Structure 1
Amino acid sequence: MLATSTSTIPVGDAWVHEVKWDGMRVLVDVAEGVLRLYSRTERDVTVAFPELQGLADEYPDLLLDGEIVVLRGGVPSFGALAERFHVTQARRAAHLAEQSPATLMLFDLLRLYGVDLTGRPWRERRATLERLDLNGARWQTPPTYADGEALHAATKEQGLEGIVSKRVDSPYLPGQRSTAWLKSPHRRTVSVVVGGWRPESTGTVRNRLGAVLVGLPSPGGLRFLGRVGSGLAGKAGQRLLEDLAPLHADTSPFLTDVPREDALGAQWVHPVLVVDVESLGLSSQGRLRQPAYKGVRDDLRPDDVDDQAEGE
């Protein structure tokens, strides 16, 4: 179940509010004492996070929804977490778990002892989750709050991403984006889809990534949001180019012609890779203002990306 962006924090007893974590959304499936972790793209990421295996010892059968974060100074660091997305070797994962241990923030319970709880209201699922007392060294069940405006102000002061507001009577709708969950982020970070890339315009290395061309999914293609070059220096750009190389396409995936100054030397790609970009919102021309690349979102597909850039 996915949250819808909002600029207004709901009030009243029908709503409850939680911290919005800057991490990787996962489903945690424990069956017969074996734990598996699945990303939003249904990719099995169990091997990447060995420090969470102990959760399988808590209960023999349950399905949980949560967010994996890597904390730096008590604040989630998406950059530190991104280093672990692609890990498929157990030895490498174990090393990273020691260097940058992850924490699993649990916020919903979808199955317990074989009983499907998704049709029950949030308040019942949450009460059952709290009775499980899932609070360990590497996982926790963060509290909820009645005052959304106060939580929003507190999370801004603490440098957290924002809040999520949830209707207490809402069922869990797997894979659906719902207005029963509303997200109110502080930082202007949006998930966008890459439709092309440009090599560096200086130097002698032509296959070095200089910028990516990004957009938002619309019927028939991508709505162009601009060119992102900041944040792509060094290893970040190299890794992204490795992801883009096999996605080569002969034609542009954008709905309209990309401006000449952005399209010059562009290599088009199939619009399947989602990345996070931080910006100052949109210009009057509908372009991202001063965008900076943050990282690949392996946990998202293009159809998971909503029109977050609006109203920023």
Structure 2
Amino acid sequence: MKLQPVVPFEPVLASQLPEGDQWIAQIKWDGVRMLSYCDGNDAELINRRGNRRTLQYPEIADPRAYCRAGSVILDGEVIALSGGKPSFHEVMRRDSLKNAAAIKSVSPQVPVLYMIFDILYCNGTWLLDQPLSRRQQMLGEMLLPHPHVQNVPSYARPSELFTAAQSGGLEGIVCKDINGTYAPGGKDSRWQKRKIVFDVNAVAGGVTYRDGLVNALLFGLFDSKGQLHYIGHAGAGRMTAQDWRTITAQAQQLRTGDMPFTAVPQRSKGAVWIKPQLVFKLHYLEWNSSGTLRHPVIQAQLDHPPLSCRIEQKG
């Protein structure tokens, strides 16, 4: 593929909704950020971290099936639904697969949607310096009907969409300046996310057992010096019985006599320490004054570097 992968633009976390006629709002999808590429010959799907995911999502692997442009880069989110709502756990059942046979088997069980919200390159021309309003116009002109692809709708009243997202139990919304350009690798107030359900990527430093299986994990975040600070424990959540069997086997391999946290966690009775290598996405309601999470719920295990689980996520 001739096109070089783009690091996507990211929204900043906002405590209030922005005001002004230049702002539109979109649903924040609880999925996997994905850019779709076609240089006119080759096509690829590449995620936020620069990893190829073309194999994992064959139904959306070639943008020529859902975009009339000869060459293109599209930006969006791959989601899977559970109970009518996006489920990060469900989409990770697809994203974590590595071989074609498993993908072919699981794909009918976990159908995905590609929610496209931006177009960065079209027919040999970069659109990064074009305002969002123009990029959205071009996206609408280029997308073709497809059962696994949707053009993400925009709303002129962010407060109304936020209320609707709250009622629907969705993750939140993203507000975007329609005059804003797109900065690859950037993160600033041109895009602002207002969350209903918060999330954090955390590393497990300990486990507890019930009847020979891991039933909960003790989580932490690293500071700039590489020290691991305890942020809470969680069990159950979205994890299946097979997930817990897998975690039990992993924990057995990572057992250590050394406690990895900077201080002994309050909920450490019966805990077995493990080397901090297993990374998970957690949902939570808020941070307690003690520095721990209120009501953390495990969403899925991630293939992320442990040291990427930083305390700065609290901001």
Q: How far, CA to CA, are the matches of 1:24 and 1:161 in structure 2? A: 13
> Residues 144-293 of structure 1: matches in 2 within 5 Å?
144-187=154-197, 189-200=198-209, 202-203=210-211, 205=212, 208-221=213-226, 222-231=228-237, 234-240=241-247, 254=261, 256-259=262-265, 261-262=267-268, 264-270=271-277, 273-293=278-298
Query: How many residue pairs align between the two structures?
Result: 302
Q: Deviations for 1:235-255, whole angstroms, at most 9, x for unmatched residues?
A: 22233456667777886664x
For the aligned residue pairs, the C-alpha RMSD in angstroms reads 2.8
Letter in 1 for 2:220: G
Does the Cα contact within 8 Å between 1:230 and 1:291 map onto a contact in 2?
no
Percent of residue pairs identical: 28
Partners of 1:42 and 1:275 in 2: CA distance: 19
SS at match of 1:262: coil
Q: 1:260 to 1:144 in 2, by over 3 A?
A: closer
- Cα deviation digits, residues 55-98 of structure 1 (max 9, x gap): 32333311111000112353212222121112122232223222
Whether the aligned pair in 2 keeps the contact of 1:41 and 1:301 (CA below 8 Å) is no
Change (3 A) 1:98 1:34: farther
Q: Aligned partners of 1:112, 1:304: CA distance in 2, in Å?
A: 35
Distance 2:136 2:34 in 1: 17
Shift in alpha-carbon separation, 1:228–1:50, aligned structure 2, 3 A? same
2:33 is aligned with 1:62: no
Q: 1:4 to 1:105 in 2, by over 3 A?
A: same
* 1:41 alignment counterpart: 49
Query: SS at the partner of 1:224?
Result: strand
Q: Counterparts of 2:134 and 2:303 in 1: how far apart (Å)?
A: 31
What is the distance in 2 between the residues matched to 1:136 and 1:245? 45
**1:102-121 to 2 correspondence within 5 Å?**
102-121=112-131
Residue 106 of structure 1 and its aligned partner are, at CA, apart by 0.2
Tell me: CA distance 1:28–1:109, structure 2 relative to 1, closer, same or farther (3 Å): same
TM-score, normalised by the number of residues in structure 2: 0.84
The more displaced of 24-33 and 61-70 is 24-33
- Alignment-mate amino acid for residue 225 of structure 2: G
SS at structure 2 position matched to 1:92: helix
2:12 matches 1:4: yes
Secondary structure class of the residue paired with 1:83: helix
C-alpha deviations, 1:163-207, integer Å up to 9, x for none?
Answer: 1011222222223322221111222x312220413241x43x3xx
Q: Is 1:131 the counterpart of 2:141 in the alignment?
A: yes
Gaps of 5+ in 1: none
1:23 counterpart residue number: 31
Q: Which runs of 5+ in 2 are unaligned?
A: 1-8
Q: Secondary structure at the match of 2:60?
A: helix
Q: TM-score, normalised by structure 1?
A: 0.84
| CA distance 1:227–1:38, change in 2 (3 Å) | same
